[in-house]
Structure 1
Amino acid sequence: MTVPMAAGRGPKYHRIADTLRAEIQSGELEPGKQLPAETALTSRFGVALPTLRQAIGILRAEGLIESRHGIGTFVKEARRRQRRSRNRYGRARDDQQLLSADFEHRIVFAGREPAPPYVTEAMEIESGTEVVVRRRHLHDKTTGQLEEIGASYLPVDIAGGTFLEQPTVVPKALFLCMEDLSGQQYTHARDAWVSRLPTAGEADIFNLAPGAPVLHVTHTARAAEGNVLEISESIWPADRVMFIDEYEIPEHGQAPEARSDI
Structure 2
Amino acid sequence: MAAYLRARIDRGTLEPGNKLPPTSALMHQFNLSDNAVYRAIALLKAEGYLVSQQGKGVFVADRRKLLAGAQRIRGITQGGETIHHKLSARVQAPEWVADHLGEGECVNRVRTVQRGDFVVEASQSWVHVDVARVVPEIDAPAPCDPTWQAVYEQRSGDTVEVASKTVDARITTDDDREALGLADDFAVLVVRSVYMSEGKVIGVGQAVYAPGHPLSIS
TM-score (norm 2): 0.71
Higher mean C-alpha deviation, range 213-222 or range 26-35: 26-35
Counterpart of 2:130 in structure 1 is 157
Q: CA deviation at 1:173?
A: 2.0
Q: Give the superposition deviation at 1:35.
A: 5.8
1:22-41 → structure 2 map (5 Å cutoff) = 25-26=9-10, 30-31=14-15, 32-34=18-20, 37=23, 40=35
Deviation at 1:181, TM superposition (A): 4.9
**Match 1:175 to one of 146, 149, 170:** 149
> Which residue of the partner structure matches residue 85 of structure 2?
107
Counterpart among 199, 206, 215 of residue 242 in structure 1: 215
Which residue does the alignment assign to 1:9? none
Q: Which moved more, 1:226-235 or 1:154-163?
A: 154-163
**Counterpart of 1:194?**
168
- Unaligned runs of at least 5 residues, structure 1: 4-19, 48-54, 93-97, 246-262
User: Is the alpha carbon distance of 1:42 and 1:109 closer, same or farther for their aligned partners in structure 2, counting shifts above 3 Å?
Assistant: closer
| Partners of 2:119 and 2:181 within 8 A in 1 | no
- Report the Cα distance in structure 2 between the residues aligned to 1:188 and 1:105, rounded to whole angstroms: 21
Structure with more of its chain in strand, by fraction: 2
1:2 is the counterpart of 2:2: yes
Aligned to 1:139: 114
Rate the CA distance shift 1:182–1:169 in 2: closer, same or farther, 3 A: same
Aligned CA distance change for structure 1 residues 211 and 219 (closer, same or farther; 3 Å): same
Aligned to 1:75: 59
Residue 242 of structure 1: SS of its match in structure 2?
A: coil
Q: Is the 8 A contact 1:222 1:228 kept in 2?
A: yes
Q: Deviations over 1:12-71 (max 9, x none)?
A: xxxxxxxx9x7885369934342655x8599638x9xxxxxxx89x999xxx6656x6xx
Identify the residue that residue 148 of structure 1 maps to in structure 2: 121
- Equivalent residue, structure 2, for 1:15: none
Name the structure 2 match of 1:130. Answer: 105
Query: Which structure is richer in relative contact order (CA contacts within 8 A, separation 6 or more)?
Result: 2
Structure 1 residue 209: deviation in Å? 6.1
Counterpart CA distance in 2 for 1:112 and 1:27 is 35
Identify the range of structure 1 (200-209 vs 131-140) with the bigger mean alpha-carbon deviation. 200-209
Change (3 A) 1:121 1:201: closer
Instruction: Name the structure 2 match of 1:217.
Output: 191
The 8 Å contact of residues 160 and 195 in structure 2, kept in 1 or not, is answered as yes
Contact 1:158 1:181 in 2 (8 A): no
Q: Does 1:208 align with 2:182?
A: yes
Q: What is the aligned residue count?
A: 202
State the one-letter code of the partner of 1:243. Answer: S
State the distance in 2 between where 1:164 and 1:27 align.
28
Paired letter, 2:91: E
1:104 is matched by which residue type in structure 2? T
Q: What amino acid sits opposite 1:130 in the alignment?
A: E
Q: Evaluate the alpha carbon distance shift between residue 163 and residue 84 of structure 1 in structure 2; reply closer, same or farther with a 3 A threshold.
A: closer
Q: Identity percentage over the alignment?
A: 19
TM-score, reference length from structure 1: 0.61
CA distance in 2, matches of 1:33, 1:243: 19
Q: Secondary structure at the match of 1:104?
A: strand
Supply the distance in 2 between the matched residues of 1:81 and 1:42 (Cα, whole angstroms).
26
Match of 1:44 in 2: 39
Q: Using a 3 Å threshold, how does the CA distance of structure 1 residues 159 and 138 change in structure 2: closer, same or farther?
A: same
